[in-house]
Structures are given as C-alpha cells and as structure tokens.
Amino acid sequence: MQLMSLMISLFVFGLHMLPSLISGLQVVLGHTAMISCNRSCSTVEWMRNRISVVRFVEGKFTVAPEFKSRIKFSLENLKKGNVSLVITDTVYNDRSWYTCSCDGHEGCDQYLDVLLPVSLEVAVGDQAKLPCYADTNKLTPESNASIRWEKNDALVVKLKHGEMEFGAGFEDRASVSKAKYGNGDLSLTINSVKIPDAGLYRCFHLSEKDTHPEVIDLIIKDCPSSNVIIALAVIIGILVLPLLHFCHGKLLPACRRLKAPPEHIAVPGADGK
C-alpha cells in the first residue's frame, strides 16, 4: 500500500514537473533556435522525434528536406566538441523533442517550444497595456508578488519584494500592479509610448508556470494619437479665436457700410453735384 502511494506521489510530481521540463528551450516563431550540445564526436546525427534532421557521416552533411536551408552546423565547431544544432526561421511544427546521437550514443535531449506572438498596435504618445495572465496564488501578499517583463531579452520592469526595478528608458513610464497579482493579472502598462518601444515583450513570474499570451509583439504607429490631435485642436482654437474676434471688430463696420440702404447712399446728379 505504501509502495502504491509512493508511485502515485512520484507520478503526480512528474506531471507537475513536465511543463517546466518542456518549457526548457523556447523560441519565438520565425526566430533562430540553438539546441546546445558539447560532445566530442566523429559522426553526429540530430533527430526530431526519432526522425533524422541532420547527419554528419564520413565528412558528408545530409539535411532533411523540411529543414533545408534552415540548419546551421559548423564543421569547425564539431572539431572543437561543439555539436549544437541551430535552426533558423523556425516554424510552428519545429516544436518537438530533439536528440543528438554522437558516435551512436544519444544525449543532449531537449524540447523546443515555439511561441506564437500576439500583436498589439499603439500610436505614438498613447498608453500601451500589454496583457499577461498566469495561475497565481490568490492569497499571495503584495510584498511577495514577483513579476518580470523583458523586451527583446532586456529588462523592462521587475517587481520583487514589493520593489520595482526598471530597465533603461522605462523609468517612470512602465508599471505592473501588485494588487492584481493575486488575480493572476501580470499586465504591463507603458505610458507615452515611443517608436523605440516597439519589439517583442515577455512576462515571467515566480512559479515559472505558463503565462498567456506567451509573447506580445508591440507595434508603434508613427502617427498622432487621438490625445495629440485633441491637444492640437485646443491650441489652434486658442490662437484662432482672438484673431477671429479682432477681424470681426475691424470688418463689421465696413460690412455695414456696404449693406447700407440705397437712400442713404449719395448719388451724384447730372450737374455732378
């Protein structure tokens, strides 16, 4: 009975750990993935789900048709003991388990996960809210909330132990909510967005569980935002109204003279008087 309980516990633990193992190597769709492997080999074969991706045997490279022109494998690196597999222009169906066979001995197993970015368009000067949701503990104190946002692998903002740390260029513009962490809301707010803010954003949290969406592609439209247009309209109104008032005061008497009744207009007589 105790053995059965132990087996069940190990099974549950394995299920809990599986997502973390699977999410070990992640790449955004269309980007380059490198599956690292350092081994000394004379013959090498990388396999995806037991099907050959690339082989190096007797000085000859062979690449599977679906990976043609997308595999980078260096003979120089091979001589140095680096047999890492590089896949460029990743497609969704590249996600799978990859295994390296080195002189017939398998190793360097790695799961490649291909992430699908969600696009978000924001005009220059507007506020951007990048959504991110995760399974967090509702009872987590605000002081224990842990959120990290990155843009192109560089820090945007980090919340830890109740303190926020900002990446370069995001000081006083980026923020996350401590209060909403318990609701699973890890969303990022960026005020007064700029053209350089465009890029791929990802959020992470302490428990390392999946977040939704996985990646956000922030696109900045180089055109005036609605707020800018309203501000310009107000400024133009402030400048133009006094001018119209001035012109109205100057032109009104002239207009009245032009519209005067005929009997009030002196017409010269035949004698010129």
152: left (phi over 0), alpha (psi -120 to 50) or beta: left
Lowest mean per-residue pLDDT among 3-17, 223-237, 257-271: 3-17
Q: Which tens digits make up the pLDDT trace of 91-111?
A: 999 999 999 999 999 999 999
Alpha helices for the chain (secondary structure H): 2-22, 75-79, 226-258
Which residue, 94, 115, 124, is CA-closest to 200? 115
What phi, psi does 252 have (nearest 5°)? -60, -45
Count the helices and strands in the chain (H runs, E runs): 3, 20
Assess contact for 95 and 112: CB atoms under 8 A. Answer: yes
- Beta strands 188-190 and 174-175 are antiparallel
Q: Residue 12 contacts by C-beta under 8 Å, 6 or more apart in sequence? A: none
What phi, psi does 170 have (nearest 5°)? -110, 5
| Three-state SS annotation for 242-272 | HHHHHHHHHHHHHHHHHCCCHHHCCCCCCCC
Q: How far apart, in whole angstroms, are the C-alpha atoms of residue 213 and residue 129?
A: 13
Q: How far apart, in whole angstroms, are the C-alpha atoms of residue 138 and residue 177?
A: 14
Average pLDDT (173-183) is 93
CA 189 to chain centre: 13
Kindly tell me if the per-residue pLDDT of 9 is higher than 90: no
CA 144 to chain centre: 25
Q: Which tens digits make up the pLDDT trace of 188-205?
A: 999 999 999 999 999 998
Lowest mean per-residue pLDDT among 59-73, 222-236, 247-261: 247-261
Which residue, 50, 39, 32, is CA-closest to 87? 32
User: 117-224 has which CATH code?
Assistant: 2.60.40.10
Q: How far apart, in whole angstroms, are the C-alpha atoms of residue 99 and residue 87?
A: 14
Q: What secondary structure letter does DSSP report for 9?
A: H
Assess contact for 44 and 56: CB atoms under 8 A. Answer: yes
Between 220 and 236, residue with greater pLDDT: 220
Longest dimension (CA), the chain: 136
User: 20-115 has which CATH code?
Assistant: 2.60.40.10
pTM score > 0.95 for this model? no
Q: Is the dihedral of CA 196, 203, 120, 93 positive or negative?
A: positive
In the prediction, which pLDDT does 20 show?
Answer: 38
- Residue whose structure tokens are 């599977």: 64
Q: What secondary structure letter does DSSP report for 82?
A: B
Q: How far apart, in whole angstroms, are the C-alpha atoms of residue 99 and residue 52?
A: 10
In the prediction, which pLDDT does 58 show?
Answer: 87
Name the token pair of 129.
């809210």
CA 181 to chain centre: 20
